[in-house]
Amino acid sequence: MIRAVLFFCLLGVLPDAVLADEPSFALTSDTPAYCAQLARKVADAKSPLPDIKKLLTEGRDMCDRGQIRGGIRRLRRALVALHHKPAKED
């Protein structure tokens, strides 16, 4: 790592990852708090789609029962579906 930093210093360029104070990724964990955060994001979208509503309900229920990973999986699926834009038909 030190050699790489020295090399880039000699070039006068440092990669963004070296210069950044914060990580360039979001750190998540399988916790009830993260589950609740995802559920709020999905609920705030107020999607009328039944599939989204079902995933939200199942995700919340699983988190409430202590099945955090399964609940997070469903809530993430709901978020992906919310952001998915179907291809236009010709």
For the stretch 6-42, pLDDT in tens is 555 555 655 555 555 555 656 668 899 999 999 999 9
pLDDT band at 4 (very low <50, low <70, confident <90, very high): low
pLDDT tens profile 56-89: 999 999 999 999 999 999 999 999 999 886 666 6
Q: What is the 3-state secondary structure (H, E, C) of 24-42?
A: CCCCCCCCHHHHHHHHHHH
Contacts of 76 (CB under 8 A, 6+ apart): 38
